Chain A
Amino acid sequence: MVADRVYTETAQRARAALAGVQPAPGVAKPDPILLADKVKKNFGGVTAVDVDHIEVQRGSITALIGPNGAGKTTLFNLLTGFDTPDTGEWRFDGRSLAKVVAHKTASMGMVRTFQLTKSLTKMSVIENMKLGATHQVGERWWNGLFPFRWKAQEKLIEQRADQLLKRFKLDHMRNEYAGTLSGGQRKLLEMSRALMTNPRLVMLDEPMAGVNPALKQSLNEHIRGLRDDGMTVLFVEHDMDMVHDVSDWVIVMAEGRIIAEGTPEAIAANPAVIEAYLGAHQGKSLLGEETPS
């Protein structure tokens, strides 16, 4: 399945860094950009997330997988401040993020996308992009009336937005309403808009959901490109081919806990993972040894 995978230089570096790491749940990494401890969240009587320890290696592409309801998206929400955990502490790049509200995490360099794409449909593609830039002078209302105070910065932002649009092959849609884009293009737009914040950690929630196979390949390329540019990527995905293709490390969640970690190859052969996905404890598996995709 991964026979003809080509490793770029950064991919090799990321894999070399992770080579010595034991494939065990909650294992320590040599250079974590994000680490969380005892993060717990209950919804009523249901424990949605109960993560003892998790670390994400800097400069790597880490996949977060698990069956539906495993708590992946909830964990994303907790880490980015969109939801508050009952207990727990987590640090991003050495700074504690507990009780930091959602909009501050983004300006600290940690940006996320959403499972259900949130493109701002009634705004043009380029306006969507420009919105992403942080620390804009003209976003203070008292500066809004005086274009000379923000025009220069706006021009720089627009240049950067245009470069990103070109890279994500959206430049021909530049002035169209975002609402006219296809589902896959919206995923691309959301990803490139997130990059406008100059993040160090990009968290993608199901980047492949609803994207056609042809576009999936180029999305894969884009995600690898983020690592090549020095960013760290953490993504939630159900598409196992994609997880195999792009990730350097895989973390598996089930019922709110981390049940396994390891390289994609190790995870594919891990019996605990197969059990979590197929429920082998209920008796014999109907689908044999194959992982679902």
Chain B
Amino acid sequence: MDWLKILENTVSSLVGIDAAYFALAALGLNIQFGYTGLLNFGQAAFMACGAYGIGMTAQYFDVSMWYGIPIALAFVVILSLLVGIPTLRLRADYLAIVTIATAEIVRLFVRSVRFKRFFGGSDGINSFSTQFRDLSPFDPSKQYGFRPFQYSGYTFWTLIVAWCLVGIFGFVVFYLMRSPWGRVLKAIREDEDAVRSLGKNVYSYKMQALVMGGVIGMFSGMVFALDRGSVQPDNYSRDVTFYVLTALVLGGVAKVSGSIVGPMIFWGLYVFSDNTLRELTRDGGISVFGVGLLQKSQVGPVNYMLIGIGLMLLMTFRPQGIFGNRKEMALDGR
């Protein structure tokens, strides 16, 4: 067992690119789900908007990478309106059903052969990140940072951009939620009829929250796409939405700190248990008294099981998440 390696990998995954793009997606989802109470189960679709927005600058439009932002913004707004106009007047659970379906529709749409010209079909779009790489002030052949935080020049550049975005949007969400605007959103989460009776246009506020959360999710998709240097339709499936949601709940909903630290811990746990299982099965599977318990090939699924158990325990013993407010939680159902 190489404990040092496991520990190093775990610690570096806390600030890794996965944690960063999850944090962005969670910040967006937090506006919708945590503050406004909109059950958006289709955050992956908004991430896909960002990824494809930037991918299409190379694939279809053949323009500078920077046009990716307005293109993706247009996608997000169109998607929000399509989803929001029919469902935001209804109860929250309808939105949940519709958003799950929408995210799947978006994925199947972009991977379809019919629109391969625009979105690249199931192969997705590749090699559009050269422009982003060229912006990097770091030498791609050198290693930067110190152990365990050691990265190649390009990864280091992506990490810096990603965490800067997390920081910016963290501040934006934090200050917005302390403003009267944020107060209206929180009140809508509690009881929208009360808010309506006080003269606020609930429908419009819900739409604003949906778009704003979607825009932050869009940046998450962009970061992910730029890091991989490719956009694959199947990277934006249901799982992503639910992992992001899990990470958010782990950190604590309706807290900015929760939506940043939650994803960090989510990935820390993931990498820790994955590496530990791999180390354990390095010299063949584990068996007790001749009964095989774990094979090398089973590490992946078993790891997800362990994470699932861990999260179930967390929800049982600390339902408010790490940063959530226990007092607020106790007021439920009164």
Q: Do B191 and A120 touch across chains, with their CB atoms under 8 A apart?
A: yes
The answer to the question of A166 belonging to the interface, with a C-beta cut-off of 8 Å to chain B, is no
Q: Do A194 and B184 touch across chains, with their CB atoms under 8 A apart?
A: no
The answer to the question of B315 belonging to the interface, with a C-beta cut-off of 8 Å to chain A, is no
Q: Which of A105, A121, A130 has the most CB of B within 10 A?
A: A121
Q: Do A197 and B179 touch across chains, with their CB atoms under 8 A apart?
A: no
Near B by CB (< 8 A), chain A positions 111-150 give 111-114, 118-123, 127, 130-132, 134, 136-141, 143-145, 147, 150
Q: Which residue of B lies closest to A106 (CB)?
A: B199
Q: Give the complex CA separation of A132 and B200 in angstroms.
A: 9
The answer to the question of B282 belonging to the interface, with a C-beta cut-off of 8 Å to chain A, is no
Q: Which of A103, A118, A134, A141 contacts B176, CB < 8 Å?
A: A141
Q: Do A114 and B181 touch across chains, with their CB atoms under 8 A apart?
A: no
Q: Give the complex CA separation of A147 and B178 in angstroms.
A: 9
The answer to the question of A82 belonging to the interface, with a C-beta cut-off of 8 Å to chain B, is yes
Q: Do A144 and B199 touch across chains, with their CB atoms under 8 A apart?
A: no
Question: Interface size for chain B: under 10, 10 to 19, 20 to 34, or 35 or more residues?
Answer: 20 to 34
Q: Give the complex CA separation of A2 and B176 in angstroms.
A: 53
The answer to the question of B24 belonging to the interface, with a C-beta cut-off of 8 Å to chain A, is no
Q: Which of B191, B193, B195, B197 has the most CB of A within 10 A?
A: B197
Near A by CB (< 8 A), chain B positions 196-228 give 196-202, 208, 212
Which A residues lie within 8 Å of B199 (CB)? 103-107, 111, 134, 197
The answer to the question of A277 belonging to the interface, with a C-beta cut-off of 8 Å to chain B, is no
Q: Do A114 and B194 touch across chains, with their CB atoms under 8 A apart?
A: yes
Question: How would you classify the secondary structure of chain A's contact residues: helix, strand, loop or mixed?
Answer: helix
Shortest CB-to-CB span from B196 to chain A, Å, is 5
Could you mark each residue 62-84 of chain A with 1 if its beta carbon is under 8 Å from any beta carbon of chain B, else 0? 00000000000000000010100
Q: Give the complex CA separation of A118 and B192 in angstroms.
A: 9
Q: Give the complex CA separation of A132 and B198 in angstroms.
A: 6
Q: Give the complex CA separation of A127 and B190 in angstroms.
A: 13
Q: With A121-B190, A121-B334, A179-B334 in contact, is A139–B197 under 8 Å at CB?
A: no
Shortest CB-to-CB span from A192 to chain B, Å, is 12
Q: Do B180 and A139 touch across chains, with their CB atoms under 8 A apart?
A: yes
Q: Give the complex CA separation of A238 and B290 in angstroms.
A: 77
Q: Do B190 and A120 touch across chains, with their CB atoms under 8 A apart?
A: yes
Q: With A121-B331, A122-B328, A123-B187 in contact, is A103–B196 under 8 Å at CB?
A: yes
Q: Do B194 and A138 touch across chains, with their CB atoms under 8 A apart?
A: no
Shortest CB-to-CB span from B210 to chain A, Å, is 12
Q: Do B331 and A179 touch across chains, with their CB atoms under 8 A apart?
A: yes
Q: Which of A132, A144, A179 contacts B181, CB < 8 Å?
A: A144
The answer to the question of B142 belonging to the interface, with a C-beta cut-off of 8 Å to chain A, is no
Q: Do A120 and B187 touch across chains, with their CB atoms under 8 A apart?
A: yes
Could you mark each residue 25-46 of chain A with 1 if its beta carbon is under 8 Å from any beta carbon of chain B, else 0? 0000000000000000000000
Q: With A134-B199, A177-B328 in contact, is A120–B180 under 8 Å at CB?
A: no
Could you mark each residue 88-120 of chain A with 1 if its beta carbon is under 8 Å from any beta carbon of chain B, else 0? 000000000000001111110001111000111
The answer to the question of A218 belonging to the interface, with a C-beta cut-off of 8 Å to chain B, is no
Where the two chains meet, the residues of A that have a C-beta atom closer than 8 Å to any C-beta of B are: 80, 82, 102-107, 111-114, 118-123, 127, 130-132, 134, 136-141, 143-145, 147, 150, 154, 177, 179-180, 190, 193-194, 196-197
Q: 12 A-B Cβ contacts within 8 A?
A: A103-B199, A111-B198, A114-B197, A121-B331, A122-B189, A134-B198, A138-B181, A139-B180, A143-B181, A147-B175, A177-B327, A179-B331
Q: A127-B183, A144-B175, A179-B331 are in contact. List 10 more A-B contacts (CB 8 A).
A: A103-B198, A111-B198, A114-B197, A118-B194, A120-B190, A137-B180, A138-B180, A190-B194, A194-B197, A197-B198
